[in-house]
Structures are given as structure tokens and as C-alpha cells.
Homo-oligomer: A and B are copies of this chain.
Amino acid sequence: MKPEVLLSRIRVVLCRPSHPGNIGAVARAMKTMGLSSLYLVDPKQFPDPEADTRATGAVDVLERAKLKSSLKDALAGTVFAVALSARQRDIGPTLGAPRETVARLLAEAGEGEVALVFGNETVGLSNDEILHCQAAVAIPTNPEFSSLNLGSAVQVLCYECRMAAFAERPPVVAQGVTPSTSPVARHDEVEGLYAHFEAVMTDTGFFNPEQPGRLLPKLRRLFGRTRLERDEVNILRGILASTQVKTGHGRKN
């Protein structure tokens, strides 16, 4: 199943949100990660201009948001629901970590609609609401300050959803490869650079060929780990040559 389709099957359900600004922030967080299905259970104030403002370009998510009077109604038709909770409840599903829980959510999304359920900004989800969900997730936080903003909590979990949905697909930008504007330098070109360094350093007296020490190996180690481009070799040799002209040691290279 395509990642975009999996993401479209994830409902974000907000239970009794107090601040319309947070609803807007949630819409924006969802849309940046490719989610679009927002359910609002008994919001204190909605629609609201503050929600539109904070949503910026995600007002369409707000416009299509579904208003429900209970979590049960909001979850109708889903095959799997995860509750966000800061703590393990006496009764209720075991708290999982975000990455593992989201992996399961995505797997279940292959079967049908799923949900991420968030509670009120101050009081969170009730025990009864948690019991409507098949799994619970806690976002790891600083124990001395665990006050994650509602929009931020949604952002983090939607981000994990996108990462998981696209995990199997090759990244847009290959890892560890610097986009070249110039071809990578050939071995002999790099050797020419080292020889040039040695000549200049010998001329200036910085390097004493009779007591070479570790200077040349250190330069090789430095440039050896960069995958020098031809263009860069030319620049470095240009600099070296310019100092030789100045000192009268210039030569054809």
C-alpha cells in the first residue's frame, strides 16, 4: 500500500480541546506530515478565527474536520486506536514508546482506518476514554518538565507516522554523498596535490625532508577522508602555486 494512502487512513482525534489555537496548530502539524483526517470530540470552541490563524495553510483540514459528541462516535469504523497518555493507568493498555507503537499503527492501517487519540490540554484522557483504545503511547519527556504542548505532541507522533510510512522507500537525498558540482578527484590528481604541498612546505622551510616526522601522513589523513573533488584540488593547487610565484619558487605543474 502506498505511504500516502496509509497516512490518509490515520484519524487524529482530539477529545475536549480547550483552546481553538491548539486545534489550528494540530491541523498544521497533521498536514505537514501528510495526514488530513481530523476528528473533534466536544471542542470548547470551534470553529474559531484563532484556529484558522494557527492552521495557516491547513485550513482545509479544519474545514473537513468531523465534530462528534463522544470518543466512541469518533472511533466508529476504526480497526485500531492508540491513546496518548503521560502515565500508565491501573486499567488500560500498556504504555508503549512512540516508534514501536506507530509501527503497529501503520501495520494496522493496512487493514483499515486507525486513530491517534489525544486528551484535553489540562486533564488528558479519562480512564474510560483510554479503555476505548487498543494501545497507549507515551512520548518520552524530561521528568522535571513534561508539559508537552498539544500541537507538539501531535507533531511528534505524526512525524513518526510519516517516517514509518516512508521507511521502505529510498530517501530523496542519498545519505553521506555530497552532491558534486565537480567530479571526484582521481587518485593521481590527489597525489599531485600532496606533492605540491610538500614542495611548497619544503620551500618555505615548514617541512624538513630530512626530518619528515608525521606531517605528510597527517595531511593525507585530513584530505583522505573528504573525497576531494577535482575542482577542490585545483583550488588548493592554485593557492599553493600563488604562494610560489610570490616567493619566486614557482614552477610549471
Contacts and interface: CB of A to CB of B under 8 A. Distances in A.
Interface in A58-77: 58
Contact of A151 (B152, B175, B219): B152
Given A90-B181, A94-B173, A232-B222, A57 B145 contact: yes
Chain A: number of interface residues, binned into ranges: 35 or more
A96 B222 CA distance: 22
Contacts of A171: 97
A238 B28 contact: no
A73 B235 CA distance: 28
Contacts of A162: 140-142
A178 interface: yes
Contacts of A152: 25, 28-29, 32, 151-152, 155
Interface stretch (A40-48, A106-114, A124-132, A240-248): A240-248
Contacts of A145: 31-32, 57-58
B32 A239 contact: no
A17 to B, nearest CB: 16
A213 to B, nearest CB: 11
Interface of A: 25, 28-29, 31-34, 56-58, 88, 90-91, 93-100, 138-142, 145-149, 151-152, 155-156, 159, 162-163, 166, 171, 173, 175-179, 181, 197, 200-201, 203-206, 215, 218-219, 221-223, 225-226, 228, 231-232, 235, 238-239, 242-243, 245-247
